[in-house]
Structure formats: structure tokens, C-alpha cells
Chains A and B, each alone.
Chain A
Amino acid sequence: MTGKSGAAQTVAAVLTGAIGIVFLLPLVFTILVSIRPENEPVTQGSIFFGSEITLSLYQHALNIAPWGLHYLNSIIFVGGTLLVQLFTVTCAAYAFARLRFWGRNLLLLVILLQLMIPSGVLLVQNFRMINLLGLFDTRLALMLPYWGSAFGMLLLRQAFREVPIELDEAARIDGANLLQVIRHVYVVNAIPAYVAFALVSLSSHWNEFLWPFIITRSEAIRPLTVGLNKLIKTTDQGAFYGQLMAGTIIVITPLVILFLLFQRQFVESFARSGIR
């Protein structure tokens, strides 16, 4: 290593550390505040620790909502959405990538409308549709509008088109039926696109609040975001930041553990998947 690149290494290391610490600060203080007594804000006494370390806020936060249930609901919501999406998207992408049929471009255009009109924008109208179907306050209502995804379809169509047509033909000559061709030729060769789509889908639905909030009433099916809303809104009595922080820690912990355990595999699988 030359001296110059050594200096560059140092700069990079310092920069990494600085950004990392800034990004970590909110988490560190979330933890610190969650173990401080409620009436001792960080502006009072030591900024790091209160007069004692207490877990009582966790007890309060645990009582506010059935977090386990909300967790499960969120997982069912994002997982169920993604699973069906993968199916519908694959079918449609294959048709548009490789089949010729009457009205193809028109149909494609109609589907692409969804890309330009994000469903979040159509809250009210979609609420009416769900109500018309009699699905209000059901798990199905949460997921149904997302089961068709123009974004995923487009992403996969692009990936499918890059699969050499010879592979398709060879598989058919070997006697593979349509399903087998899709599975063994197209899906396998489009893994990166699938991963990218999954990441976007999971993340956007995991974050989603407005739609679940409007379309559900029962605790039994409401996702995590709606549960968190409970911590935030304590209208008459002001903010309970300690409790809020304890609740946030409760929510984040399982994910953090999972991430820490599988961090290496997680990043490497992306690398292997070769999303571009």
C-alpha cells in the first residue's frame, strides 16, 4: 500500500465511524431513555443516565398493546402480500415478455397505470371498493389491493426478456411443460429481480400505516404500525417519551436480533443475487 492510499483508508475509516455513530445515536438514546425514570428527561441531570435504572417503562409499554399479535399480523400482511404477488407477477411478466396476443400493448398500458398511480393515493376510493366487496376489517382487505403489482411485473418482464430464448426452446424440446419452463428457465434466471422486488415490497408494506389504519378496526388483525400509533397519540395527557421509547425498543428488538444473527448471510445473498 502506498502512503496515499493509506491516508485514503484512514479518511474512509474516520468517515465510516462518524456516520455510523451519528446513525446509532438515536438508538442508543432510545435505549437510555427507556431505562430512565419517566420524570427525568435527558435535559435534567446526566444526559446518559437518570438517578436509577428501571424497567418499569417496559411494563407500561407492554400493557399498551398486544405486541406479539401485532407482530404476527404484520408478518402475515407483508408475507401474504409478497407470496401472492410473486405468483401473479410471474404469470403476467411471462405473458408480456414472451407471448404474443391480441391487445397486448393495450393491456400492458392499463397495468402500467398502476405504476403511475400509487395505490396509497387512492385511499378513499379503495376504501369504498373494499366496502362494496364486504371485506372491511379483514386480512384480505389489507392485502388485496397489492396483489397485482405493475412494478413487480415490469421488473420481472425485463429480467425474463434477458433470458436467452434458446434456453426456453431447449427446455420445451426436452418435454417441459409451461409451468416447468417458467420455473426452471425463467424464475431461476431472474432471482436478482425477484430479490429486488421482494425487498421493495416487504419494506413498503412493513412501513405502511394509512391503509391498515383505515381498513381495519379489530386489534386481532391490525399490524404493528397501527399498534405503534397508540404509543404516539396520548392526546390529552401529553407525551410519554420514556414509554414511547420502551415500546419502540420492544418493537425493534426481534428484528435487530434477526439482523445481527443473519447479517452476513443477508448481505451476501444480495451479492450473490447480483441485483443491479
Chain B
Amino acid sequence: MTALCKRTLSLCLLLSLFIGAAYAQDDIVIDFYFPSATANDAEGIFQRYADMFEEENPGISINPVFTGSYTDTRNTILTELQGGGAGPDVAVMLSIDLYSFAEEGYIVPAQTFIDGMQDGDAYVSDFFPALMRNGVDEDGNVWAIPFQRSTPILYYNADLLAEAGYDSPPTNNAELVEIAQALTTDDRHGLLVPVAGGFPIWMYQSFAIAFGHNIVDDDPTAVYFNTPEAVAAVEFVRSLGTDLGVGPAGGAAWGDTPVAFLAGQAAMIYHTTGNLTRILGGADFEVGVWYLPSGPAGEDGTGYGSPTGGGNLYIFDDGSKSQSELDAIWKWVTFLSSPAIQADWGATTGYIAANASAWQTEPLASLSMEHPQYLIARDQLQHAGKEFSSYATITIQGIINGTLESILTGESADAQAALDAAQAQIDGILADYR
């Protein structure tokens, strides 16, 4: 609304007065930025949701804006706001970007809106706790609402496993390696873990957790990147491509991994649950889905591990928005996070519908009866850890990704030394916040 006025103003000062006046009586317009995290025509889906919402809520109109990848979207928002632009009203951004926005004072906590709800507690407690972990600050205030959430899971080609005499998927790293080696041939990878392509941290984290120590905890000023577990985890991932030879050295690329799996060129892959619908729909073999195999963590040595991932809904306000605008924004957020929409969104894309009651809602209820694979993705949440997030998230995540890549591609042979160096850089940055 204000952005629209501003633009008009610049074009013709005088005319804008009239136009501005005309718009003032019109709808509240909510600029909604979303990344292209799904290939299933996200724009079409959001337009459909927007139409549904506008019908229910006359006087509010939604302006969905596609803003590229997650990285593109984040850069778009930050550049716009830092350059003095209006920015979005609501955006879907990575759950880990909480501090990138909160630090700068660009977003407002959802908590203030929740406190104003009649059944605020019920609304919050319907979300799976694991999915709230990245949206809450250290004082327990809710900032962001889960929307398109996911975790990494193990996809396996059940036909290939059966051929080789394995009736069930690997449940721990030793079995994982054994089966992967058995299924590796000249033109087929046994296991692809997509750690190439700029974002190794997510997959890596699942190994770090399985080896016994997550690289983050609830304190946003703490990162644990050079623990023995962290070193063991990266060395394990590296060995998949080198010593064990079950995947390409340096790791598989994110985008290629599901394609190779569907083409039968990878027997098992680690990938996001957000891909479930595509993979189930595209495979001409029996697709198995299971928890990520456990590592040596815990007393019994069976530590399951997976971070959560995906995008949350953020509310942007620098204090200039009116109460009626904020109310409209919150309505849109609750609409998108409602069980009905979550059930639809989860069924269309494969993202984990974020609230428990969505799983009793159609179309997800019958879909998950038909394809129990969806339930595996949901149930793994009980083992899920916090996804990487800290102050100065972008920079620190960049350091972690760069370090992991240099280890995985063989540039840094000494993993411990590389992680120590990275940890020193990270501590230097976080010192600003301690």
C-alpha cells in the first residue's frame, strides 16, 4: 500500500495525491514474498490460497511475489530494507534466518499476536515442537510460524535393495555403508548425500547429531564446530566419496540427487521430505522411506539424527504499520498455517504439514493412509534437532559451508585443523554478541 503510493508519487507528484486518496479507501494489500522451494507450480498454489483468503476476508488483498531461491529471497528482502525500500509484509524464509531479520529489527515476534488470540496456546501447541525450535528465541518468545517445513530423510530404491537381498533399509551407519557398497556398480551410486552445491551444512548436521553433538544449541551465541563429533561426522561424509566410493568424491549436487535416484542411478539418497511427492509420483520402482540411519551417539550408540529445515512465516514491520494492517497480516499468517491449508500444502508438495491436526484433515489424512511414507517423515520429527542458527547466521553459515566444502573436496586434508580454524573465525564474530 505505502510502496504503491511512493512509486506513484515519484512518477507524478500532483497526480499521486489523488491516486493516494483513491487507494486509501481501497483494500489493505499484503505483499507476500515466497521462494521457489517447490516445483509444483508454487505460484499457482499461492494464487489459489490468496483467492480463497480474499473471498473469506473482503477488504484485504494478497500480492504474492516470487523471489527466487531462498538465498535470492533473503538477499532481496535485506537489500530492499537496507536500501530504504518497503520490503514484504509477510515472507516465507528459511527457519534459520530468524536472527538475520530479528537482529536488524525488521521483523516483529508472532508472540504479540498470539498473546492477543483467544486460543493462542492451542494454536501454538498444535504445531510439532521440533518445528517450533527454530522459531523461538532463548526467552521462549515465538517469532516465526512454521509453514513449509521439512527434514532430511533416507529414500531407498526398495526393488534394488530386495535384488541384493536386503529386505529392510539400513538403520545405522554401519548397515548404511554395507548396503551402499553392495549396491554400488559402475553406473550406479550406492548412496548419494547431497553435500555439494553450496549448502552442505544441512546434510552435515544430521551426521553431527547422529555422531552425538549438534553444532548448535538454544543459545544463539554458541556454535560447536570443532568437537570430536563434528570432526568424525565430516570425516565420515568425506569417506563416502573417497575410501568407500559409494558416491562421487566431493559429494553429490543437491539438484541432481533426486533425478539420479528416479533414474535408478542411485540406490539410496539423503534428501528433503519436501521432495516426497515428486519422488513418489515420478518413480517406476518401489520407493522406500526411512529415518536417517543412526550414528554412534548416545549410551546405546543408536543416535538418530536429523535437523529440521524449510521455511517459516515472518512478519515484517518497522513500527510503521497500522493496527488494521497488522491484523490483516496476522490473519493471512494464521490462514496459511491453518490445518486445512497445511494439509493441502503438505499433500501437494510433501512438506511436513506443521500442525498435528492437519494430519487428520483431508486430503492429507487419506493420502498418508495410502502412502505411509508421509508418516515416516512426520514421525522422524521426534528425533529431530535444532537446525543451525545463530547470530550473524549468514556469515557464520557461509564459513561453515565453505569449510565443509573445502574438506569434502579434498582441499583441506586435515579436517580437525580446518574446523579449528573455522571455529576461531566464528568465535571472533560471535564475540560481538556475548
**Chain A–chain B contact at Cβ < 8 A:** yes
Chain A contacts to B: CB under 8 angstroms = 38-41, 43-44, 63-64, 124, 127-128, 131-138, 213-214, 217-219, 229-230, 233-241, 243
A133 to B10, Cβ gap below 8 A? yes
Q: Tell me what chain B mostly uses at the interface: helix, strand, loop, or mixed.
A: mixed
Q: Is the C-beta of B83 less than 8 angstroms from some C-beta in chain A?
A: yes
| Contact of B139 with A by CB under 8 A | no
Q: In the docked arrangement, what's the CA distance between A133 and B259, Å?
A: 46
Chain A residues whose C-beta falls within 8 Å of the C-beta of B70 in the assembled complex? 235
Q: Counting CB contacts under 8 A, is B68 at the interface?
A: yes
Smallest CB gap from A45: residue in B: B263
Instruction: Check if B150 sits within 8 Å of A236, measured CB to CB.
Output: yes
List of B residues within 8 angstroms of A127 by Cβ: 79, 83
Contact partners of A240 in chain B: CB under 8 A: 39, 259
User: How many angstroms from the CA of A254 to the CA of B10 in the assembled complex?
Assistant: 36
Judging by beta carbons under 8 Å apart, are B83 and A229 in contact? no
Determine which of A41, A134, A138 lies in contact with B259 in the assembled complex, contact meaning CB atoms within 8 Å.
A41
- Please give, as numbers and ranges, the residues of chain B lying within 8 Å of A39 by CB-CB distance: 262-263, 282-284
Chain B positions within 8 Å of A243 at CB level: 39
Residues of B59-77 at the interface with A, using a CB-CB cut-off of 8 Å, are 65-70, 72, 76
Residues of B within 8 A of A134 (CB): 6-7, 9-10
| B263 close to A41 (CB less than 8 A) | yes
Q: How far is the CA of A236 from the CA of B73 in the complex (A)?
A: 14
Instruction: Provide a sorted-by-A list of 8 A–B residue pairs whose CB atoms are within 8 angstroms.
Output: A39-B262, A41-B263, A213-B76, A217-B67, A236-B37, A237-B278, A239-B255, A239-B256
Contact residues in A for B254 (Cβ distance below 8 Å): 235, 238
B212 adjacent to chain A (CB < 8 Å): no
Bound CA–CA A98/B80 (angstroms) = 44
Rounded to whole Å, the gap between the CB of B161 and the closest CB of chain A is: 20
Residues B264 and A239 in contact, CB atoms below 8 Å apart: no
Q: Is the CB of A131 within 8 A of B68?
A: no
Q: How far is the CB of A131 from chain B (nearest CB, A)?
A: 5
| Residue numbers in B under 8 Å from A219 (CB-CB) | 66
Q: Is B95 an interface residue (CB 8 A)?
A: no
Which one of B39, B79, B264, B282 lies within 8 Å of A214 (CB-CB)? B79
Interfacial chain B residues near A63, Cβ < 8 Å: 41, 44
Contact between A217 and B65 (Cβ–Cβ < 8 Å)?
yes
A214 touching B256 by the CB < 8 A rule?
Answer: no
* In contact, A124 and B83 (Cβ under 8 angstroms): yes
- CA gap between A233 and B69 in the complex, in Å: 6
Q: Mark B260-280, 1 if CB is under 8 A from A, else 0.
A: 101111000001101100100
Given contacts A128-B83, A131-B83, A134-B7, contact A236 B275 (CB under 8 A): yes
We find that the number of chain B residues with CB closer than 8 angstroms to chain A is: 50
List chain B residues, Cβ under 8 A from A136. 3, 6-7, 80, 83, 85
In the complex, B355 has a CB within 8 A of chain A = no
A124-B83, A237-B38 known; A229 vs B256 contact (CB < 8 Å): no
CB-CB under 8 A for A234 and B263, given A39-B282, A138-B7, A217-B65: no
Which of A63, A64, A132: most chain B CB closer than 10 A? A64
Q: Using Cβ atoms and an 8 Å threshold, which residues of chain B touch A217?
A: 65, 67, 76
Q: Are B274 and A241 in contact (CB under 8 A)?
A: no
Q: B282 to A230, Cβ gap below 8 A?
A: no
Whether A241 lies near B259 (C-beta < 8 A) is yes
How far, in whole Å, are A234 and B9 apart by their CA atoms in the complex?
Answer: 36
Known: A131-B84, A134-B7. A239 touches B36 (CB 8 A): no
The complex places the Cα of A214 from the Cα of B67 at a distance, in Å, of 10
- Taking the complex as formed, is B401 at the interface, i.e. its CB lies under 8 A from any CB of chain A? no
Is B258 positioned at the interface, with any CB of A under 8 Å from its CB?
yes
Picked from B11, B83, B255, B265, the residue with its CB within 8 Å of the CB of A234 is B255
**Are B79 and A237 neighbours in the complex by a CB distance under 8 Å?**
no
Contacts of B66 in A (CB 8 A): 219, 230
Complex contact A40–B263 (CB within 8 A): yes
Chain A residues near B39: list those with CB within 8 A: 234, 237, 240, 243
- B284: chain A residues at CB < 8 Å are 39
B241 within 8 A of A: no
What residues on B are CB-neighbors of A64 within 8 Å?
A: 41
Closest CB in chain B relative to A141 CB, distance in Å: 10
> By the criterion CB–CB under 8 Å, are B259 and A135 in contact?
no
Chain B residues, CB < 8 A from A38: 282
| A230→B272 CA distance, assembly (Å) | 20
Query: Chain A nearest CB: distance from B314 CB in Å?
Result: 17
State which of A44, A233, A238 has its C-beta within 8 Å of the C-beta of B265: A44
Determine the chain A residues whose CB is within 8 A of the CB of B10 once the complex forms: 133-135, 138
Complex alpha-carbon distance, A134 and B85, angstroms: 9
Q: What separation, in Å, do the CA atoms of A63 and B262 have in the docked complex? A: 23
A214 surroundings in chain B (CB, below 8 A): 76, 79
User: Is residue B305 contacting chain A, with contact meaning CB distance below 8 A?
Assistant: no
Q: A-B pairs with the 9 shortest C-beta distances?
A: A134-B10, A239-B255, A238-B258, A236-B274, A233-B69, A236-B37, A234-B39, A238-B255, A237-B39
**Smallest beta-carbon distance B118→chain A, Å:** 35
Contact (Cβ within 8 A) A233 B68: yes
A238 touches B68 (CB 8 A): no
* Other-chain contact of A237, B35, B187, B260, B275 (Cβ < 8 Å): B275
Residue of A nearest to B31 (CB): A217
**Residue B134 lies at the interface, judged by CB distance under 8 Å to chain A:** no
- B257 contacts A by Cβ under 8 Å: yes
Write the nearest CB–CB distance from B17 to chain A, whole angstroms.
Answer: 14
Is B187 in contact with A43, judged by CB distance below 8 angstroms?
Answer: yes
With both beta carbons as reference points, the residue of chain B lying nearest to A232 in the complex is identified as: B69
